[in-house]
């Protein structure tokens, strides 16, 4: 039975997880329509080449920027063994999510390639299997957090257009934690659903039962039970003061 279960696991397509696969993708392939060399016509497939891989303007500044962040401080340790991708929870579900390739691109500072993955890069579920199994203690799970920060900084437009819901939900979390000191989960759920335009689902046949139950037994009105930490106002002011002083990676 164990074998059968394994067979069900999606198998990677040939070459799917080759890290430099982008080199043979369409936009890296040079093909001249009409080309005559020394009087010989080599049009079409004959003259197919990949663009030069040599990067004469290799820029280390991006690498050092990642290294400076706390989550990405171990990026230099990675030697691309692929254990992270092999143990990843998300990769079987979203084939384009490939931690090893992301780390590779970040090491090279390959912004052009990273930009293509704005829509999947945030899907890490934070299960830490990769960090547990990484032989070099790179901590890929947190590297994915660094990646999310980088994307937000360098591709704000793509993030804004593709990950609007994610950003909105994050904002709700932040406001609630800083404002109250504690999380009101029922309110959080309702406001996230509202942001996503799915308020209707809260009362429909499937989810409505759970919601009604929680309203009935009083769990939905959680703010009453939760309260606020005593003297939170001072802590909040201190946090806001700190955020004004310090440059986080998002800001600069």
Partner 1 sequence: MLKENQAAYYPGCALLTIDRAYNSSAKLVSKKMGVELVELPDYNCCGIGEMKSKGAVSMYLSLRNMMLAKSKLGSKDLVMACSVCYHEISRSIARVKENKNELEAVNSIFNEAGETKDEFVPDGKVRHLLEFLYNEKGTEEAKKNTVKPLKGLKVAPYYGCLYSRPSMYTFTDKDPKMDNSERPRFMHDFLEVIGAETVSYGNEVQCCGGRNVVQDEETSFALCSQTLSKAKKAGADVIVTICPKCAGALDVNQPKIVEKFGKDSALPVVYLTQLMALAFGFSDKEAEIKDMISGPIKVLREKGF
Binding residues (CB under 8 A) for partner 1: these are 2, 5, 70-71, 89-90, 93-94, 122-129, 131-132, 137, 139, 141, 145, 148-149, 152, 165-166, 169-170, 173-174, 177, 181-186, 188-189, 192, 206-207, 209-210, 213-214, 217, 219, 222, 225-226, 229-232, 234-235, 237-239, 241-243, 246, 248-250
Distances from the Cα of 226 to the Cα of 25, 124, 140, 190, angstroms: 54, 30, 35, 17
The 8-class DSSP code of residue 51 comes to P
Cβ proximity to partner 1: between 108 and 169 the closer is 169
- Residue 20's nearest CA partner among 113, 128, 85 is 113
Report in angstroms how near the CB of residue 93 gets to partner 1 at its nearest.
6
Distance in angstroms (rounded) separating the CA atoms of residues 220 and 217: 8
Residues whose CB falls within 8 Å of the CB of residue 143, separated by 6 or more in sequence, listed in order: 71, 72, 74, 75, 99, 102, 103, 106
- Nearest distance in Å: CB 82, partner 1: 18
Residue 33 CA to residue 13 CA, distance in Å, equals: 30
Query: What is the distance between the alpha carbons of residues 250 and 152, in angstroms, rounded to a whole number?
Result: 7
Nearer to partner 1, 32 or 207 (CB): 207
96 burial level (CB within 10 Å; 0-12, 13-18, 19+): middle
**Chain position carrying tokens 């942001």:** 195
The two structure tokens encoding residue 225? 């039970």
Helix (H) or strand (E) holding 173: helix 164-180
């Amino acid at each position: 039975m164990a074998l059968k279960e394994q067979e069900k696991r999606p198998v990677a397509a040939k070459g799917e997880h080759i890290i430099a696969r982008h080199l043979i993708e369409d936009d890296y392939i040079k093909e001249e329509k009409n080309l005559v060399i020394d009087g010989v016509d080599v049009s079409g497939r004959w003259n197919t080449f990949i663009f030069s891989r040599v990067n004469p303007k290799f820029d280390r500044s991006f690498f050092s920027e990642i290294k400076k962040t706390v989550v990405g401080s171990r990026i230099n340790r990675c030697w691309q063994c692929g254990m992270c991708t092999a143990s990843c929870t998300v990769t079987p579900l979203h084939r384009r999510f490939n931690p090893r390739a992301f780390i590779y691109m970040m090491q090279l500072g390959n912004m052009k390639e990273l930009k293509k993955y704005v829509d999947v890069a945030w899907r890490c579920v934070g299960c830490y299997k990769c960090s547990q199994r990484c032989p070099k203690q790179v901590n890929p799970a947190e590297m994915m957090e660094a990646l999310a920060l980088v994307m937000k900084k360098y591709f704000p437009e793509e993030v804004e257009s593709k990950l609007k819901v994610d950003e909105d939900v994050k904002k709700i979390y932040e406001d609630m934690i800083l404002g109250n000191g504690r999380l009101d989960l029922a309110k959080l759920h309702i406001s996230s659903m509202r942001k996503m335009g799915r308020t209707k689902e809260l009362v429909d046949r499937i989810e409505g039962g759970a919601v009604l139950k929680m309203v009935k037994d009083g769990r939905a009105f959680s703010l009453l039970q939760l309260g606020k930490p005593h003297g939170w106002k001072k802590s909040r002011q201190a946090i806001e003061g700190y955020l004004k002083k310090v440059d986080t990676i998002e800001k600069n």
